[in-house]
Amino acid sequence: MVKHAILLASEEWCKVASAGGVRIYDFLSKRKKNIRALNTGSVCVVLTKAARGKRSVFYGEFTAKEVKRVGANEYNKLASEGLIHNPQTLGPNDMVWIVAFDEFREYNKKIPKRELTDIKTFTSKEPISEWAIYGLSYIDEQALEGIRRKAGGFVKEPDERIKRLEERITAVERLLGISELALPVSHECAELMLLRIGNQLGFRVYTADRLEVCGDARLGDLASLSREELGKYVGTNVLDSLSRVDVVWYKDGRGYYAFEVVVGGNMHEALIRLAGISGLEAKLFIVADANKKREYERDISNPAFSLIRNRCRFLTLDELVRIYVLTNLWSKYVEELQLTM
Q: What is the pLDDT of residue 160?
A: 60
Residue 182 belongs to some domain of the structure? no
Q: What is the pLDDT of residue 72?
A: 93
**Are 191 and 140 in a shared domain?**
no
Prediction pTM value:
0.50
Residue 176 belongs to some domain of the structure? no
**Are 138 and 199 in a shared domain?**
no
Q: What is the pLDDT of residue 185?
A: 78
Predicted confidence pLDDT, tens digits, the chain (341 residues)? 679 999 999 999 999 999 888 999 999 877 667 677 899 999 999 999 987 778 899 999 999 999 999 999 999 999 999 999 999 999 999 999 999 999 999 999 999 999 999 999 999 999 999 999 988 999 999 999 999 999 998 886 555 655 666 666 566 666 665 555 545 678 999 999 999 999 989 999 999 999 999 888 899 999 999 998 888 888 777 899 999 999 999 998 888 999 999 998 899 999 999 999 998 989 999 999 989 999 999 999 999 999 999 999 999 998 898 888 888 777 766 665 555 54
**Are 85 and 144 in a shared domain?**
yes
d(CA 227, CA 15): 48
Q: What is the pLDDT of residue 2?
A: 79
**Are 210 and 304 in a shared domain?**
yes
**Are 143 and 193 in a shared domain?**
no
**Are 203 and 147 in a shared domain?**
no
Q: What is the pLDDT of residue 265?
A: 83
Range of the domain at 130: 4-151
Nearest to 264 by CA among 299, 297, 291, 301: 291
**Are 117 and 249 in a shared domain?**
no
Residue 177 belongs to some domain of the structure? no
The domain boundary, picked from 134, 151, 168, lies at 151
**Are 133 and 270 in a shared domain?**
no
Residue 174 belongs to some domain of the structure? no
Domain containing residue 135: CATH number:
2.30.130.30
| Structural domain total, the chain | 2
Q: What is the pLDDT of residue 65?
A: 95
Residue 175 belongs to some domain of the structure? no
**Are 126 and 204 in a shared domain?**
no
